[in-house]
Structure formats: C-alpha cells, structure tokens
Chain A
Amino acid sequence: MSFGSPYFTLPDFTYHKPKTLREALELLEKYGDEAKILAGGVGLIAFMKERLVSPSHVIDIKGIPELKKLEYRKGEGLVIGATVTFSELESYQVIREKYRALYQAVKLASDSIIRNRATLVGNICEAIPWVDGPPPLIAYGAEVEIKSLDKVRRVPVAEFIKGPVEIDLEPGEIVTSIHIPDVPSGARSGFVKFNVGSEFALVNLAAYLSLNEEKKDVRLVYGAISPKPVRALEAEKILSSEGDMRTLIISAAVKASEELEVISDVLASEDFRRHLIKILTMNLLTELVEGG
C-alpha cells in the first residue's frame, strides 16, 4: 500500500446528507456497494483522490443527531458515536481519567488539525494497518454496533477489522457507534507508539491490565506490525501467571516479539519491528506496573 496521488480532483459522485439514521439506511439500502459513508472525510476523501475507492454515492452522516453521541455510564461503559471526532474525545474528561490507552492514542494520532475532523469510527473503518485507534479499542474489548434497515448487530473491533482496508461491513450497513465496556476500578491501560521520523507508527501497542481480582486479565494489542492489529496471546498468558508482574515483564516482552507474525514494509523491517515490540512492551508494562 503506497499513498500519493497524481490527481487533484475527485471522481464524480452524488452527495447525500440524510437527517435521520433511517433516511441514511434507506439510501444505503438503495445504493448498496455504490455508496460510501462520509464522516470526517480524512480517510474517504484521501482514498477517493487516490482512486482507491470511487463511490457513486457519498452519504454524509454528520447531520444525524444520534450519531454524535458520546456518553459514559457506570457499569455499562462508553459509547462513541460515528461522528465523534478525535478532538471531542480528547477533551472528554472520562476518557482521560478512565480510558488512558484510548486517551493516549487519541492524543498521539496524526495532528491536532486533522483530529478536529477525523472520527474514531472512521479510523477503524479505514482499517489502515498503521493507525492508532484500533489497538486500544481491541484491548478494552470494544465492539462496534452495526445497523441496517432490518437488523442490528455487534462485532468486536478485533473481528471487525479483517485486514488492510477490509472490514466486516455488508452493503446496506453502517457503523453507528463503538461500545467500550466499563473498566473495573484498579484496571490500568496505556498506549505507546514508536514513530520517529514517520507520521505513522512503526509499531504501536495498547496494554490493559486488570489485577484486582483473583484472575489477572491482561491484554496486549499491537498495531502496524501486521495487516491488522493483533493480540500477543502467549505473552498475555505469561503475564497472567502467578507471581510479581515485574518479574514476568521480560519474558512476556520477548515472547511477544517472537510469537507474532510481523511484516517488513516501507516504514520498517521485520527485524526492527520485532525489536521495537520487545522494547515498547517492556517500557509500557513497567510504566503501568509502576503507575499503580
């Protein structure tokens, strides 16, 4: 996947701006895979400029009030509507306090001007391997809510993203929101990203630790290293075993750097990525352990 376009103009399409979700779904039903959803536009418009997609119909969902929802309920968790921007997430106090990994990923994503426009739902629907939105969502076990005229379904973000620019979305369907479960008190999460000399991450990592109860719950999710974000299950297992977390970090980090499939691309080689996985894992886990 290499970006850059000789074109300045966009292909032809018809623009629709529905006022209700129903109206949007009807349009989607009518136009099927000829239609694309427009929210922040930073992905779709760039893709259209590069002729990676050429929809005949573009459906702008920014006029639909219910998709602007950003709400936290204790015990239920966080709901992020499809048109909520990164900037809105950044200034939402609950995220800063309770969902540190998401907050850090949001703050580090692209730049502040892009964040005024870009949406988190758009970020996962783009499914570009190097972006920062998906790893924390997967670490929290977040789900996307998908609606069509005749059904509603929920899919874990981890399954929703199938590969580079490939998502589990049928014609006629729209992602309306992301649902992140509430985090138990005492749970910790964090996000790191290595992108020296690059706009995109060479490796990013979201970690989630819940150590309160009898059973440890540990999740490590790596982005940018493979076609889609992946969990390091073996490393998680090591961290979940008995003993002082501090004594498990190294072997978990080493395991993570070995167990995953890692690609070489324009940003970094496989070897360097494996190395970074190890360093970032040690760094982030230490930080999380120390932080509590």
Chain B
Amino acid sequence: MVRKISLTVNGYRKTVEVKDNELLIDVLRDKLKIKGVKAACWRGECGLCTVLLNGEPVKSCLVLAVEVDGSEIVTVEGLSRDGELTPIQKAFIEHGALQCGFCTPAFVLASHQLLLENPNPTEEEIKEKLSGILCRCGTYYEIIEAIKSASKFYQKK
C-alpha cells in the first residue's frame, strides 16, 4: 500500500509518499535525498544509519517509514543549520576523529545527542552510548577526545 506520511526532517515539514514496506533509511536517502545517513550492515549492527527520532538515537534500517508519520527526525545535516558547525563537529575535525568518514555522520550525531543530555560524560558513559556504532578505521580514541574537548561548550548552554 502507498500512503502519505508527514514528518519533520531537520526542522522542515515534509510530506512524502511511501510504501508500507519501505524502510526509514531508504525514504531518507532515496526520496528525501538525505545522504548523510549511511549504512553498512542493514540489520542493526553497525549503527551507521543512526538518526534522532523524536530526540532519541535509533537505527533507521530497522524502522519502517510509515512508523514515523508525525515524528521529528534529525540527521547530521540538521546539526549546523545556523551557518556554523556545532562544537562537536569542530572537535571531530580538530582531533582527527574521522578517517574514511563513512561512520562519521552517525558518530557526530550520537555524540551531539549524548552531550546535550549529559554535557560532561565520563569515558564509560561515552563508550556505553557509542558502542552501537562501528568504525573500522579505528578512530575511537580520537572520538572520545573530541567529545571530551567539546563538552565544555555544551556545559555552558
């Protein structure tokens, strides 16, 4: 069945026609052309398709598009809307918390959300929140450094 769903993506209201069996990741990437959402396993293991669904990180390869009718989605594209990178994005660059970059959108998004909820996380808390995302290049140390260094900007808020 084809139906219309409405959702807010990165602050913009969107109405989009979807089939019942379409996945959120595919609607975001193929229909809404939001290509910052990546994927590497399509079964919930790699976490590269992580998006914020009503403020909560979820893996969009395991969500049907019809399920998010009326919801708010944020992807990495939604982070720097006021013309400036968020502190966590800047920190990722400065600390070299990226290599091939394919997992970077997911890590940036999940780290940003983590800092909003917990501006001064311990190393254990960082690991706990990010263990669902894989980075084969092995930039985990740099990601932790970036989060720690960006944390001061989130505390001020």
The answer on direct contact between A and B (beta carbons under 8 Å) is yes
- Which residues of chain A have a CB within 8 Å of any CB of chain B? 3-5, 8-15, 17, 38, 41-42, 45-46, 49-50, 58, 60, 62, 87, 110-114, 116-117, 199
| Complex partner residue of B57 from A12, A17, A42, A116, CB under 8 angstroms | A116
Most buried by B among A11, A62, A116: A116
Most buried by A among B22, B43, B44, B66: B44
Label chain B's interface by main secondary structure. mixed
| Interface flag for B133 (CB, 8 Å) | yes
Q: Report yes or no: A41 in contact with B63, Cβ–Cβ below 8 A.
A: yes
Cα(A46)–Cα(B42), bound, Å: 8
Q: Report yes or no: A10 in contact with B23, Cβ–Cβ below 8 A.
A: yes
Q: Report yes or no: A46 in contact with B47, Cβ–Cβ below 8 A.
A: no
| Interface flag for B123 (CB, 8 Å) | no
Chain B residue, CB-CB nearest to A113:
B132
Q: Report yes or no: A15 in contact with B66, Cβ–Cβ below 8 A.
A: yes
Q: What bracket does the count of chain B residues touching chain A fall in?
A: 20 to 34
| Complex partner residue of B132 from A12, A41, A112, CB under 8 angstroms | A112
Assuming A13-B21, A111-B131, A113-B133, is B47 touching A45 (CB within 8 A)? no
Assuming A45-B62, A112-B129, is B42 touching A62 (CB within 8 A)? no
| Complex partner residue of B62 from A5, A17, A46, CB under 8 angstroms | A46
- Expressed in whole angstroms, the minimum distance between the Cβ of A38 and any Cβ of chain B is 7
- 10 A-B pairs with CB atoms under 8 Å apart are A10-B22, A38-B67, A46-B62, A110-B132, A111-B47, A113-B58, A114-B44, A116-B56, A116-B57, A199-B45
Q: Report yes or no: A46 in contact with B64, Cβ–Cβ below 8 A.
A: no
Chain B residues with CB below 8 A from A14, complex form: 1, 20
Residues 77-108 of B, flagged 1 when their CB comes within 8 A of A and 0 if not, give 00000000000000000000000000000000
| Interface flag for B110 (CB, 8 Å) | yes
| Interface flag for B50 (CB, 8 Å) | yes
Chain A residues with CB below 8 A from B57, complex form: 112-113, 116
